[in-house]
């Protein structure tokens, strides 16, 4: 508590952002007020603009500034393939690989019964609509390889079984560039059971 209402309010709001603790919130507030005043109205305007403009793509649920996102609108993507991920950051990560050219569905979370996040908390009615669209041939479940991500993939796989499309899960195994010695048991076990025939 700095003891000035306007400063304390700023600090307490910044603390509610992910990854920002009390020290960081104070440091950011002082830096803004002492050295980066010009940033304050710019940041305020950017927050209001993003809050006003950004919504969810009606087809893939990703963040978008129109009813449909750029990927869902594109005529260069293969709309018959769908990759299901947990977050917009995962879309960026997969796009960065440069080897995927299908559509996405962004769950904006994962099932986590312990935290009270059941199927109804995810946008699964939108997901059901998406997988009901004609021409869908393949669905890749690319939720995180965590307990929650696996549970989510399992649940979504169950929804798909009724649909008659090829459903796969991204491969789990040793990370490229890693050394076996330092890979955890669970990952190494997955790499062994998921072994693939040598390609010619």
Residue 182 C-beta: closest distance to its own copies, Å: 23
Closer residue to its own copies, CB minimum distance, 40 or 166: 40
Interface with its own copies (CB under 8 A), residue from 77, 80, 108, 117: 108
Q: Contact with its own copies (CB under 8 A): which of 40, 128, 133, 171?
A: 40
Q: Does residue 10 belong to the site contacting its own copies (CB under 8 A)?
A: yes
Q: Which of the stretches 86-94, 124-132, 160-168, 174-182 binds its own copies when contact is defined by CB under 8 A?
A: 86-94
Residue 154 lies near its own copies (rule: CB under 8 A) = no
Site for its own copies in 45-84 (CB under 8 A): 45-51, 53-54, 63-65, 70
Is 188 a binder of its own copies (CB under 8 A)?
Answer: no
- Which range of residues in 13-21, 133-141, 144-152, 164-172 is near its own copies by CB under 8 A? 13-21
104 backbone dihedrals φ, ψ, rounded to 5°: -125, 160
Q: Is 2 in the site for its own copies (CB under 8 A)?
A: yes
Distances in whole angstroms, Cα of residue 143 to Cα of each of 87, 107, 116 = 9, 9, 18
Under the binding rule (CB under 8 A), the answer on residue 93 touching its own copies is no
Residues engaged in binding its own copies (CB under 8 A): 2-7, 9-10, 13-14, 16-20, 24, 26-37, 39-51, 53-54, 63-65, 70, 87-89, 92, 108
């Amino acid at each position: 508590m700095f003891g000035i209402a306007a400063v304390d309010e700023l600090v307490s709001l910044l603390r509610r952002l992910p990854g920002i603790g009390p020290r960081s919130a104070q440091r950011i507030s002082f830096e803004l007020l002492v050295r980066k005043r010009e940033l304050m109205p710019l940041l305020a305007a950017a927050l209001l603009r993003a809050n006003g403009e950004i919504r969810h793509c009606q087809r893939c649920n990703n963040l978008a500034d129109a009813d449909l996102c750029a990927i869902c609108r594109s005529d260069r993507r293969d709309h018959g393939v769908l990759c299901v991920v947990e977050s917009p950051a995962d879309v960026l990560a997969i796009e960065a690989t440069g080897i995927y050219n299908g559509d996405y569905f962004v769950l904006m979370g994962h099932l986590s019964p312990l935290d009270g996040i059941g199927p109804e908390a995810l946008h699964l009615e939108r997901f059901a609509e998406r997988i009901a669209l004609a021409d869908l041939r393949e669905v890749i479940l690319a939720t995180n390889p965590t307990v929650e991500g696996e549970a989510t993939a399992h649940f979504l796989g169950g929804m798909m079984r009724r649909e008659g499309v090829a459903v796969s899960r991204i491969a789990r195994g040793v990370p490229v560039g890693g050394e076996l010695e330092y890979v955890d048991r669970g990952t190494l076990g997955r790499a062994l059971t998921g072994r693939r025939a040598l390609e010619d």
